[in-house]
Structure 1
Amino acid sequence: MKILFLTIAFVCLLIHSIKAQTDSLSVMDEQGIVADTLRSDAEKPQLKQVILPASLITLGVISNATYINRYVQRHVYNYSGGHKLRIDDYIQYAPIVSVFAFSNLGVKAKHTVKERLIIGATAYAIMGALVNGVKYTAKIQRPDSSAFNSFPSGHTATAFTGMEILWQEYKDENVWVGISGYVFATTVATFRLYNNRHWIGDVLGGAGIGILSAKAAYWLFPYTSKLLKRKEKSSIQMALYPVYSDEMKGVGLTLFH
């Protein structure tokens, strides 16, 4: 129940905050221009967009509150035999790297490189806040008993955040490019179980938070894009983005002209 309350509280706070901000876009500005035109590059928040991530988070909470976690993990451990293959530490970043790589290979993205940097930074900032907020408050023990920060999975959230951005950027140009992110993200989730680092509920919750964080970044883009416009006045541009995993937290810096 503690996990359920914390997760719902964080998600509701996020959605309420975004809704309040985006509702203000419909107000006429002083010159009589409808500010809603700022939405041209961003989706309006809609309830149906929250159904999938909310369902994944709910399933994650239910799994943690019942015997489902231990039932699934017992079968996974019997299959793996305790062996570990830590490719998930690296491929968790593959989806977000692909967001920038495919445009260099000639596939047209929905947004420019600078805009994608803003969207990515926003998404990962939201994801990091949600994941850490729940992790270090719920304090669920990992299946390998190494720590009490199991729920939700940060690796999975990282991968699914990038996956959703990749999908949003390329789905209209090349659907297979968009789908490729799902392969990486689900592989990360699978190996978090295989390596006995997370319960099934952890990866489900992480996936939901990752998708929700990416969607929130697009909802907020009319506001975060203003930061980009201000930076364009200077000759040297700078973009900051959070880097997060269970073992590492930091900030990345990109400079460009």
Structure 2
Amino acid sequence: MKKLKSIILFFVLIQTQISAQERADSIHNRPLINKEVVRRSVLPLSLITTGVVISGSHFEKNIKKKLRGGEGVIDYAIPVDDLMQYVPIAQIYIADVLGIKAKNHWFDQTKYLIISNVITAALTHGAKFAINKERPNGSSYAFPSGHSSFSFANATVLYEEFHDTAPGFACSGYVLTSMVGSLRVINNKHWVSDVLAGAGLGILVTRLVYSWEPLKNWNPCKKMKDVTFIPSFDSSGGSFTFVYRF
């Protein structure tokens, strides 16, 4: 019964956001759901569903035992996942500076990146507090993984922007973010189900953002073709840089 309630709460959060977007899009008479949107939603929804189904199961507990050992094992961590989640963002703007052709202007990239991350963060943290699953290290709010949802949202923006012109480069973000998810489990921060659900959520939200293209015509910097906006992040915070190509 507890697992069923978690499933219902998680999908209610997603449906709430979809309904809000539907109301916004209806103003512009744009079709919200079509075959392409459904097709692009299959993979992330499968990841989310798998995460919900195996949450709390013996399967994921056995994975933890194999990776971490039993009680009394010396604790360890590989603390690079905090930084790796930002790599796809850096890849997007480095590609812009290098002149790799993208789907959208850098302002639109930034716009969709921010929208995707804001929605993903709202759904992730809403689900965390609603479900309140215990992490493998004993702390709270495990499901879904915030690192996974954030990094996979970023990787999906990278993929959406460059998969037509540089497919290998576009897919590289998913390799890195898969490592982030794996490290969350290895570092005893999350269960496998948390990572799967977080990954699916980040991919789903970003794919829907790119399908619906909110604020599509808003780009005050469209004529600034030689200027690139680069956000950067570190442990102390974030900063913004403008790069002008001569």
With the shorter chain as reference, the TM-score category is: 0.7 to 0.9
5+ residue gaps, structure 1, are 28-35, 233-238
Percent of counterpart pairs with the same letter?
27
8 Å CA contact retained: 2:185, 2:191: yes
Equivalent in the alignment of 2:209: 217
Equivalent in the alignment of 1:88: 81
Instruction: State TM-score, norm by structure 2.
Output: 0.82
Structure 1 residue 122 and structure 2 residue 115: aligned?
A: yes
* Count of residues paired in the alignment: 230
Q: CA deviation at 1:76?
A: 1.4
Pick from 182, 187, 199: which aligns with 2:174?
182
8 Å CA contact retained: 2:81, 2:183: yes
How does 1:132-151 map onto structure 2 within 5 Å?
Answer: 132-145=125-138, 147-151=139-143
Q: Please list every run of at least 4 consecutive aligned residues from structure 1 whose deviation after the TM superposition is greater than 6 angstroms.
A: none
Pick from 110, 124, 129: which aligns with 1:131?
124
Pick from 19, 32, 38: which aligns with 1:16?
19
Q: CA deviation at 1:102?
A: 1.2
Q: CA deviation at 1:189?
A: 0.5
- Encode CA deviations 1:6-51: one digit per residue, 9 max, x unaligned: 1111122223333444455447xxxxxxxx8xx9xxx986211111
Distance 1:228 1:254 in 2: 18
- Encode CA deviations 1:193-223: one digit per residue, 9 max, x unaligned: 11000000000000001101211222342x3
8 Å CA contact retained: 1:18, 1:216: no
Structure 1 residue 46 and structure 2 residue 37: aligned?
A: yes
Q: Secondary structure at the match of 1:225?
A: coil
8 Å CA contact retained: 1:157, 1:208: yes
Equivalent in the alignment of 2:191: 199
Equivalent in the alignment of 1:62: 53
Letter in 1 for 2:144: P
- Encode CA deviations 1:97-126: one digit per residue, 9 max, x unaligned: 211111212211111111111010100001
Instruction: State TM-score, norm by structure 1.
Output: 0.79
Q: Secondary structure at the match of 2:219?
A: helix
RMSD: 3.1
Q: Secondary structure at the match of 1:219?
A: helix
5+ residue gaps, structure 2, are 223-228
Distance 2:152 2:107 in 1: 21
Pick from 60, 65, 68: which aligns with 1:77?
68
Equivalent in the alignment of 1:158: 150
Distance 2:57 2:183 in 1: 22
- Encode CA deviations 1:136-189: one digit per residue, 9 max, x unaligned: 1111011001x2110000011111001111111000001111111011110000
Q: CA deviation at 1:73?
A: 1.2
8 Å CA contact retained: 1:142, 1:148: yes
Distance 2:175 2:217 in 1: 33
Distance 2:191 2:64 in 1: 6
